[in-house]
């Protein structure tokens, strides 16, 4: 007796996995190729360039770790690294500010909630150079708006971005302001995921707003806070544009306010020493990985996943 195989029978189904596998390989090949071409290969080239000497016209030759020794034993890298970590620590203060703003905007019955969120998010979609130029005028020591307000209140004024004692912190305030919108949107999404029944149960038990925030909102929102913290630190470690525009290359405070990415810009593009710039780029990568790994290690103590 002969059994006819229908198009949807076992024989047809047995052939589908191989076809699906080919399509899966094709679809995966595109992102993998992009990863290799735009990330892995440049990283390998940077590593090779960091142990080489030469110039773009005559080429580069691998000579050893002299570039690494020069950068790691120099005076500029430790200062730039310290400035970068200080900047990142100050920008992290924007996370609790965004958390408070998100909780306030999440209140029931709040009118124009969407408008407020849009206003908070405007700095995110604004060009950093434009933001830096505006804040540079606000911080101006002669006619800046901030000094005018402080003078009318009888408070001391200063040249905020020209004083080595305040320049880095002034730039960090702008970084907090620019990142507030992104942090607010992420935290608002985290608040939306908190069940209303939990909050209502706490209200029935007599918990006030502060107690509900400390015992319910903050623990349940901790995964979103952790995500915002990681993104803020990574962005801070890569900060360059604000410092470049707000301070300028002739600013007397620049020498004491350089970040590690600004140091990379000076070596690779101003002094045209690409091998030293490659070393600084790899150091930046290593520092970012270490700081992020520390954050992931510490999150076990305070992040609560439902």
Task: Report whether pLDDT(232) > 90.
Answer: yes
Task: Clarify whether residues 43 and 129 are in a common domain.
Answer: no
Task: Clarify whether residues 217 and 165 are in a common domain.
Answer: yes
Q: Which of 277, 246, 84 is nearest to 178 (CA)?
A: 246
| End-to-end CA separation in angstroms for the chain | 59
> Average pLDDT in the 74-86 region?
95
Task: Clarify whether residues 255 and 111 are in a common domain.
Answer: yes
Q: What is the pTM of this model?
A: 0.87
In a domain? residue 235: yes
Task: Clarify whether residues 41 and 80 are in a common domain.
Answer: no
CATH code of the domain in which 176 resides = 1.10.3720.10
Task: Clarify whether residues 73 and 147 are in a common domain.
Answer: yes
Q: What tokens were used for 231? A: 């993104």
Task: Clarify whether residues 29 and 119 are in a common domain.
Answer: no
Task: Clarify whether residues 102 and 185 are in a common domain.
Answer: yes
Could you tell me if 86 and 99 are in contact, meaning their C-beta atoms sit under 8 angstroms apart? no
Task: Report whether pLDDT(123) > 50.
Answer: yes
Count of domains for the chain: 2
Highest mean pLDDT among 20-24, 192-196, 274-278, 300-304: 274-278
Confidence of residue 19 (pLDDT cuts 50, 70, 90): low
Task: Report whether pLDDT(25) > 90.
Answer: no
Task: Clarify whether residues 174 and 42 are in a common domain.
Answer: no
Q: Which pLDDT tens digit goes with each residue over 233-281?
A: 999 999 999 999 999 888 999 999 999 999 999 999 999 899 999 999 9
> Average pLDDT in the 9-26 region?
64
138 versus 198: which is more confidently predicted? 138
In a domain? residue 56: no
Task: Clarify whether residues 177 and 235 are in a common domain.
Answer: yes
Boundaries of domain holding 183:
66-302
In a domain? residue 110: yes
In DSSP terms, 112 is beta-bridged to none
Task: Clarify whether residues 38 and 153 are in a common domain.
Answer: no
Residue 171 Cα to chain centre, angstroms: 15
Check residue 65 and give its pLDDT. Answer: 93
CB atoms within 10 A of CB 231: 15
Task: Clarify whether residues 19 and 105 are in a common domain.
Answer: no
Task: Clarify whether residues 17 and 74 are in a common domain.
Answer: no
Check residue 130 and give its pLDDT. Answer: 92
Q: Which residues contact 215 (CB under 8 A, 6 or more apart)?
A: 202, 207
In a domain? residue 55: no
* Cα(212)–Cα(268) distance, integer angstroms: 52
In a domain? residue 58: no
Q: Which residues contact 81 (CB under 8 A, 6 or more apart)?
A: 260, 283, 287
């Amino acid at each position: 007796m002969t059994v006819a195989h229908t198009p949807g029978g076992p024989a047809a189904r047995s052939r589908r996995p191989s076809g699906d596998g080919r399509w899966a390989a094709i679809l995966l090949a595109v992102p993998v190729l992009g990863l290799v071409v735009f990330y892995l290969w440049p990283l390998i080239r940077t590593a090779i360039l960091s142990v080489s000497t030469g110039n773009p016209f005559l080429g580069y030759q691998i000579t050893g770790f002299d570039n690494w020794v020069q950068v790691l034993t120099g005076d500029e890298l430790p200062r730039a690294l310290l400035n970068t970590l200080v900047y990142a620590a100050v920008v992290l203060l924007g996370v609790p500010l965004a958390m408070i703003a998100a909780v306030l905007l999440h209140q029931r019955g709040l009118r124009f909630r969407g408008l407020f969120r849009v206003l908070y998010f405007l700095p995110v979609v604004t060009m950093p150079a434009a933001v830096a130029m505006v804040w540079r005028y606000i911080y101006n020591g002669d006619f800046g708006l901030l000094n005018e307000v402080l003078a009318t209140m009888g408070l001391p004024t200063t040249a905020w971005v020209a004083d080595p004692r305040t320049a880095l912190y002034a730039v960090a305030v702008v970084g907090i302001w620019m990142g507030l919108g992104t942090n607010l949107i992420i935290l608002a999404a985290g608040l939306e995921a908190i069940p209303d029944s939990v909050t209502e149960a706490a209200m029935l038990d007599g918990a006030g707003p502060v107690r509900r925030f400390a015992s319910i909102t903050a623990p349940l929102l901790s995964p979103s806070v952790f995500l915002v913290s990681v993104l803020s630190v990574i962005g801070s470690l890569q900060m360059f544009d604000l410092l470049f525009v707000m301070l300028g290359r002739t600013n007397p405070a620049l020498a004491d306010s350089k970040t590690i990415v600004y140091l990379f810009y000076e070596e690779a593009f101003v002094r045209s020493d690409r091998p030293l710039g490659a070393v600084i780029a790899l150091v930046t990568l290593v520092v970012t990985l270490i700081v992020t790994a520390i954050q992931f290690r510490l999150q076990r103590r305070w992040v609560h996943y439902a």
